[in-house]
Amino acid sequence: MLEAKQKDKSAMGGDNISFLRDSNIRISFHTDIEQQFPRIHDLVNRTNQLNFTKKRWPEDIEEARKVFEAELQEEFNSNVGYVKVSDAYGNYGICGFYFIQRDTCKHFLFSCRTMNMGVEQAVWQKLGRKHIDIQGKVASRLDMPLVDWVSFVPDIDNADNSIAGAASRPTVCLRGACDMMMTAHFLRTDVETKEEFNYPYEGWEIATTLRSALVNEALERPINRQIIAALPGIPENRFATAAWDETADVYVFTFGQETFHGLYRSKTTGMTIPMGTYALPYYLPGGPFEKFDYTTVPYEEIQDKLPNTTRDQWNFFRSEFSFVGGFNKDIFVKDLRTLFSRLNRAGKTIIIVGLNSRVGRDLGILSAFGQINELTLPVAREFGVDFLDAHQFVKSENDLAKDGSFGGSHYERRVYKQISDAILSIVHDKIKNMKTISSY
């Protein structure tokens, strides 16, 4: 294989980039680490030239498994997988391994059999250029110009039967909480993704609730944009979403974040917005839907807790808005209908991943999730929206993450893989139907 590659490269005058562009290099990402653990173990402990972190496991494979499992438990939102590589000259098999925790690569390594192919750079770019604390000498630089001669497919051994093998991959918008964040790890290497998850901002929690998407309807009025601009805890593009811009092909929603925030209504225009911060009481004794009224709190009580919030901002918020309460069934259902109707008119595919309402010990959150499911399912049926029942994946506490939450949407990694596979199955079917229709 190497002889054939060198001969063809020499025939091109030694131009490596031109040669790579003609080599049809393909990469696939995989997450079944346990099934391939002997090879992964070998890569972790034997690679040097392209091992960027040089963290090793015990030589005994069973001890190594225990270390790997312990590493997985360190951080709920971990992204771990291996890569396979092939090109016009042959199949190189499993050639790389990555393990990302909190946007930092704990492991990032590749076999030298892919040296000078741009594989490590392409994978690093695809994974979002995560931070790597590079250890020792490495025979490659990651910060080279964009690698655009590599194609990503679901499996190099079966690339022709994949979404990624199509001329253009569908764009999937994932909007939700931890469940969507983890599912994204398995989806983003098969489809293009737009990921909308919660994040902190100046002491405030920015959550991707349904109401935060539908606020865009009110923001078409200039006066509402002026009101929003005067509020605390509102980063630029706070309410921007592909769900309103219609810039994705497929939309996947979960509604676990509906328990997060209280709702506040503008006295001037009637615009209703969600607001949430851990600096003030969050869940009240009445349950996840019971929220604390921020408008009852004077500025003096929050100035140290929310130092980036000014007196003018806080006093404007208190005077302009009235407290609606926590989760509001009528607003939620109205927003569902508006969103589904809008995306249906645009010809988009919509998938709802239902919430776990049965498995676990946190009865408050299970009950709240059950109510959200009961409201969502009939509206989904009315608009022809695909609804994935969480309980086809989550059947016992063995399916929950071992993080002490015992409920909600923190699952074992294999569950998120199953959810990802179910989403991809729906996407595959939609694409097949579109191709069948267009062939007539």
Q: Can you tell me the distance from the alpha carbon of 61 to that of 43, in angstroms, rounded to the nearest whole number?
A: 12
SS3 of residue 216 by DSSP:
helix
Q: Which two tokens stand for residue 243?
A: 């769900």
Left (φ > 0), alpha (ψ -120 to 50) or beta: where does 54 sit? left
Question: Does 397 have pLDDT greater than 50?
Answer: yes
Range of 68-72, 280-284, 350-354 with top mean pLDDT: 350-354
What is residue 73's predicted lDDT score, i.e. its pLDDT? 84
Q: Which two tokens stand for residue 366?
A: 């299970």
Assign 436 a pLDDT band (cuts: 50, 70, 90). very low
What is residue 422's predicted lDDT score, i.e. its pLDDT? 96
Q: Which two tokens stand for residue 105?
A: 């690569």
Q: Stretch 265-276: mean pLDDT, rounded? A: 97
* Residues forming a β-bridge with 17: none
More confident residue, 280 or 6: 280
Question: Does 440 have pLDDT greater than 80?
Answer: no
Question: Does 102 have pLDDT greater than 50?
Answer: yes
Q: Stretch 350-371: mean pLDDT, rounded? A: 95
175-216 per-position pLDDT tens digit: 998 889 999 988 987 888 999 999 999 999 999 999 999 999
What is residue 17's predicted lDDT score, i.e. its pLDDT? 81
Q: Which two tokens stand for residue 181?
A: 């964040």
What is residue 13's predicted lDDT score, i.e. its pLDDT? 65
DSSP 193: E
Q: Can you tell me the distance from the alpha carbon of 121 to that of 101, in angstroms, rounded to the nearest whole number?
A: 19
What is residue 10's predicted lDDT score, i.e. its pLDDT? 73
Question: Which of 264, 270, 253 lies closest to 208 in space, CA to CA?
Answer: 253
The residue whose two tokens read 């964040």 is: 181
What is residue 162's predicted lDDT score, i.e. its pLDDT? 47
Question: Does 68 have pLDDT greater than 70?
Answer: yes
Question: Does 261 have pLDDT greater than 50?
Answer: yes
Q: Phi/psi of residue 256, each to 5°?
A: -65, -25
10-67 per-position pLDDT tens digit: 766 666 788 888 889 999 999 889 899 999 999 999 999 999 999 999 999 999 999 9
Q: Can you tell me the distance from the alpha carbon of 307 to that of 158, in angstroms, rounded to the nearest whole number?
A: 55
What is residue 166's predicted lDDT score, i.e. its pLDDT? 44
Contact 95, 81 (CB under 8 A): no
116-174 per-position pLDDT tens digit: 899 999 999 999 899 999 999 999 999 877 888 998 888 888 755 444 444 467 999 99
CB neighbours of residue 357 within 10 Å:
22
* Pairing, β 262-266 against β 272-275: antiparallel
329-351 per-position pLDDT tens digit: 999 999 999 999 999 999 999 99
Q: Can you tell me the distance from the alpha carbon of 88 to that of 75, in angstroms, rounded to the nearest whole number?
A: 39
What is residue 285's predicted lDDT score, i.e. its pLDDT? 84
Question: Does 2 have pLDDT greater than 90?
Answer: no
What is residue 89's predicted lDDT score, i.e. its pLDDT? 87
pTM: 0.82
The residue whose two tokens read 């964009």 is: 146
Question: Which of 422, 333, 355, 348 lies closest to 385 in space, CA to CA?
Answer: 348
Question: Does 432 have pLDDT greater than 80?
Answer: no
The whole-chain average pLDDT of the chain stands at 90
User: What is the widest separation between alpha-carbon atoms in the chain?
Assistant: 77
